[in-house]
């Protein structure tokens, strides 16, 4: 994982919510806005945002990914940070956009400039906002799941744990094979359902074995994968988006 230098706390940020949050986890988006606003930050949502392009990029359709990604490059004209409440999408913009446009100098320059100010939510709260949280909830035990790419590319397991550690009544349980993939992998979950399902089943079993009440994640793909697996298994255990959890624990109102 790279070492990154962080800017000071800004007055304004862009929210790049991602297509998954927009359509499937709007609560997580609202809660992200609430957390940032509570810190005195104005949140701007570029209305032309769609998808980072990752589904096509990882499925062998880089040309299609490039056309979609190209549209996202122009969404952020002012030099504000871009906050992404879904880890692997943030990783796509931060690490893969410059490579996607390797053969187009102008677009690549834009991609590099953008990459420099893209922050995953937990990373942004810890390193840029340097947030201080006050826990208002009762005692609760949770597990933490981070997407593989966000973990490897942005160190979100560290920043996620850092935020949870600020909540004095929350106990974080470490689960077996914590760094192992939950089996989402974008279109992998559609193309290889048997392997993907086996991985998801092992992941939810490992988290439940800790005795935690539920799990926290800032990665929407993983959350959908694991929650819909749990729902199909008719189990009560659920994952909650980190932003939603932090709002609930600290009393931020979306």
Edge-first strand order for the sheet with 239-241 is: 170-173, 140-144, 214-217, 239-241
Closer to another protein at the Cβ: 47 or 132?
47
Position of tokens 């871009």?
82
Q: What is the enclosing helix (H) or strand (E) of 195?
A: helix 193-208
Q: Does 195 bind another protein (CB under 8 A)?
A: yes
| Options 79, 193, 211, 251; binder of another protein; rule CB under 8 A | 193
For residues 112 and 247, what is the distance between their CA atoms, to the nearest angstrom? 32
| Options 6, 186, 205, 237; binder of another protein; rule CB under 8 A | 186
Is 173 exposed, middle or buried (CB count within 10 Å of its CB: 0-12, 13-18, 19+)?
A: middle
Closer to another protein at the Cβ: 7 or 176?
176
Cβ(92)–Cβ(52) below 8 Å: yes
Q: Does 253 bind another protein (CB under 8 A)?
A: no
Q: Does 67 bind another protein (CB under 8 A)?
A: yes
Edge-first strand order for the sheet with 42-44 is: 42-44, 12-15, 82-84, 118-120
Closer to another protein at the Cβ: 58 or 156?
58
Residue 17 backbone dihedrals phi, psi, to 5 degrees: -80, -25
Q: How many residues bind another protein (CB under 8 A)?
A: 63
Stretch that binds another protein, among 137-145, 162-170, 206-214, 220-228 (CB under 8 A): 220-228
| Options 189, 217, 244, 250; binder of another protein; rule CB under 8 A | 189
Q: Does 228 bind another protein (CB under 8 A)?
A: yes
Residues between 90 and 149 with contacts to another protein, criterion CB under 8 A: 148-149
Return all residues near 157 (Cβ < 8 A) that are at least 6 apart: 144, 146, 151, 178, 179
Binding site residues, another protein, CB under 8 A: 17, 19, 21-27, 29-30, 33, 45, 47-51, 53, 55-62, 64, 67-68, 70-71, 148-149, 152, 179-181, 183-186, 188-202, 224-225, 228-229, 231-232
């Amino acid at each position: 994982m790279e070492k990154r230098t962080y800017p000071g706390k800004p007055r304004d940020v862009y929210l790049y919510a991602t297509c998954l949050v927009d359509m499937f986890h709007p609560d997580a988006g609202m809660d992200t806005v609430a957390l940032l606003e509570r810190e005195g930050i104005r949140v701007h949502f570029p209305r032309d945002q769609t998808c980072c392009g990752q589904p096509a990029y990882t499925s062998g359709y880089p040309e299609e990914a490039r056309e979609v990604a190209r549209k996202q490059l122009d969404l952020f004209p002012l030099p504000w940070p871009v906050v992404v409440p879904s880890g692997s999408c943030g990783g796509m913009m931060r690490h893969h956009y410059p490579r996607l446009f390797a053969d187009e100098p102008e677009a690549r320059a834009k991609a590099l400039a953008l990459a420099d100010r893209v922050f995953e939510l937990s990373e942004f709260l810890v390193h840029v906002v340097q947030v201080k949280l006050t826990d208002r909830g009762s005692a609760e035990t949770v597990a933490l799941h981070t997407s593989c790419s966000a973990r490897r590319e942005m160190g979100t397991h560290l920043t996620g744990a850092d935020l949870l550690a600020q909540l004095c009544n929350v106990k974080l349980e470490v689960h077996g094979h914590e760094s192992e993939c939950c089996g989402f992998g974008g279109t992998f979950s559609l193309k290889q359902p048997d392997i993907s399902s086996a991985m998801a089943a092992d992941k939810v079993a490992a988290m439940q074995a800790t005795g935690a009440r539920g799990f926290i994640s800032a990665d929407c793909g993983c959350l959908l994968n694991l929650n819909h697996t749990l729902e199909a298994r008719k189990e009560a255990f659920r994952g909650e988006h980190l932003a939603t959890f932090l709002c609930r624990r600290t009393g931020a109102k979306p």
